[in-house]
Each structure stands twice: as structure tokens, then as C-alpha cells.
Amino acid sequence: MKIHYLTSAALVAALGLSACGTSDAPPANETTTVAEGETMPADTPAATTNPTVGGAEMFATKTIVDNAIASPIHKTLVAAVTQAGLVDTLKGAGPFTVFAPTDDAFAKVPKATLDGLMRPAQKTVLADVLKYHVVAGKLTAADLAKQITDGGGKAMLKTVNGQDLTATMAGNVITLAGADGSKATVTQADVNQSNGVIHVVDGVLTPKM
């Protein structure tokens, strides 16, 4: 991935608690019996199939921003979204599909580039790069796979930035390519949000600047 300081920016957009049982819960090999006519307590937790991210629980009832804040591996992303003034947008109704680079992904970007983009004077540039990781609508991994298949091996995803991302797939692994040749692989898919879905990626995607 080629990155040029303040001109070919590399950054991204968008994104907490391990589920704990109570001490009086029945052992895993036992069942809880409810007598006829009785009901389970109102505070009985509902089962969830949403994956954890970085060991932190992601709640499908919370927004993209709220879950990103809770993720221990998306601190740089949260800082960038805040600096770019996109918090309210990503807390909006959406829905949005966000390809969320991890802190390790941001660590691959030259420090001078990141530091430069986080300056107030570069707010518009930073926002433009982050928007390149956001697609309007909710696209699950299955949706992406279908679009790739229907497209003969690739799908063109129109981002909120206005430029396209190219999605391809090898086996069950989805890879995204940026307009400048940058690439990222989806390492964790289908993290549901109240206003869309997050797919964790291992790289920062860069639009043409």
C-alpha cells in the first residue's frame, strides 16, 4: 500500500464486555426447572449470537460508535472518527456497513501520516478517508459473498466517500482493495449493530486523493 504524507492518506472509519454468569447460576450440565404456571424473572438475560471483538462483547442494541468505543482494539479508529467529526453520523439511523481497521492495521501506516491527518487542519481529508470505509446499507458477509459471486468473482462497493472498493473472495475469506491498490482482509465478519454491521479488517484502505 502506497501512502503519501497528507496527500494519499491512509486511515479509516468506524469500530465491549465479556459475558459473565452470576454465581448462583446452575452448572453447565444442569437445567433450570420452572414450575407450571411460573415465569422466568424479567431480568433473565437473553441469549446473543453477536461475536465479541478483542474479547469485548458487542451489543446488537448499541450503535456503531458505542460498540467501537467498547472495543479494546479500535482505539485509533475511535480517535479518528471523533477528530473527523463523524460521531453523530455513525450514531445515526443508517444503516451502515463499516469496514473497521484495528489498531494493528493503523500501526502499519507511517506515524507521520497518521499524526498529520489528526491535525485540525486536515479534518476534511481525514473524514474523506474514513468515509471510504463506510457503505450505505447493511451488507452481511453472506450479502457480500453473493455480490462477489454474481459479479463473476468481484463486487464493486460504492462507499460514502463516493469511490468504490473492490471485494473479492478466496474460500470464505473476503478481501477488499482500495482505489490506490491498498488492501485489507475481513478478519471478523457480521458484528451486528443497532444501525448496521461492522466487519473488522486488518488493513487501512486508501481512496485516490
Residue 88 lies in a domain: yes
Residue 66 lies in a domain: yes
Burial (CB count <10 Å: 0-12, 13-18, 19+), residue 141: middle
Residue 36 lies in a domain: no
Q: What is the pLDDT of residues 49-76, one digit of tens each?
A: 799 999 999 999 999 999 999 999 999 9
| CATH at 145 | 2.30.180.10
Written as nine digits, the cell of 187 is 478478519
Residue 89 lies in a domain: yes
Number of domains in the chain: 1
Residue 13 lies in a domain: no
Residue 42 lies in a domain: no
What are residue 193's DSSP bridge partners? 196
pLDDT bracket for residue 2 (50, 70, 90): very low
**Is the model's pTM score more than 0.95?**
no
Average pLDDT over residues 113-129: 93
Residue 1 lies in a domain: no
Query: Is residue 23 pLDDT above 60, yes or no?
Result: no
pLDDT for the residue 209: 81
In whole numbers, what is the pLDDT of the chain averaged over residues?
A: 82
Residue 46 lies in a domain: no
Domain span at 78: 52-201
Query: Is residue 39 pLDDT above 50, yes or no?
Result: no
